[in-house]
């Protein structure tokens, strides 16, 4: 369908809702067997993504997001991030044509209120160091943060962004998009700073219960 309509398709490896994610740690787990399981999972997902990229005229973004974190304050914040760094290095060893690898942060979530391993600062530094894409989801930042301002600053150091169109509802994403101030500000930053070629804009359809295409085509009653 995407190929027929000239619409790009991205891919998001799923690292949750599985018995091996029950400990709240996947790629950053202290259990090597758990960690290796998820490393191999993401490697396999990159192969799927590479196939999509091969079949499509538009590059395919493989977007890595993990839910690793803790509800309460940890004693050791560094070790899980070192393990995540090592896992990502292993995952990204193999190179594919037309495939863009990206990493996505989150502020916090249910069960990870005090500590998220894959924070914005972690992934920002990793993307800069490795020369990969950085995903910015406007629903994954504090409600008062100006996500638009991050684009112009980070564009000096990062060559590509995946921008997830969403909106924060209390603390997390709501991917039913509305034309709000944040969305307009991001669009203005992209166009005014002429970084359109650096940004892929995506709709994160993780909730299959909502038919967004039909909703988008409905006309208001008169």
Q: What residues are annotated to the active site?
A: 65, 104, 106, 137, 140, 164, 172, 174, 204
Strand partners of residue 60: 99
Q: How far apart are CA 127 and CA 118, in angstroms?
A: 12
How far, CA to CA in Å, does 201 sit from each of 29, 35, 129? 31, 30, 23
Contact 40, 46 (CB under 8 A): no
Instruction: Show the tokens assigned to 68.
Output: 């690793």
């Amino acid at each position: 369908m995407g190929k027929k309509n000239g619409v790009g398709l991205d891919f998001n490896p799923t690292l949750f809702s599985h018995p091996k994610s029950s400990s709240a740690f996947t790629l950053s787990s202290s259990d090597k067997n758990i960690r290796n399981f998820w490393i191999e999972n993401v490697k396999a997902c990159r192969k799927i993504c590479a196939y999509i990229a091969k079949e499509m005229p538009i590059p395919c973004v493989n977007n890595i997001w993990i839910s690793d974190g803790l509800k309460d304050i940890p004693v050791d914040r560094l070790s899980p991030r070192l393990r995540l760094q090592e896992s990502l290095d292993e995952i990204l060893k193999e190179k594919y044509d037309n495939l863009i690898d990206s990493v996505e942060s989150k502020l916090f979530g249910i069960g990870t209120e005090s500590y998220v391993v894959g924070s914005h600062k972690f992934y920002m530094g990793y993307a800069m160091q490795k020369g990969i894409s950085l995903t910015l989801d406007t629903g994954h930042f504090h409600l008062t943060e100006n996500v638009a301002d991050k684009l112009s600053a980070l564009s000096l150091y990062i060559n590509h962004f995946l921008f997830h169109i969403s909106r924060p509802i209390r603390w997390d994403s709501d991917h039913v998009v509305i034309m709000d101030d944040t969305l307009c500000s991001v669009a203005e930053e992209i166009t005014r700073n002429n970084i359109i070629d650096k940004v892929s804009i995506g709709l994160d359809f993780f909730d299959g219960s909502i038919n967004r295409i039909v909703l988008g085509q409905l006309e208001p009653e008169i």
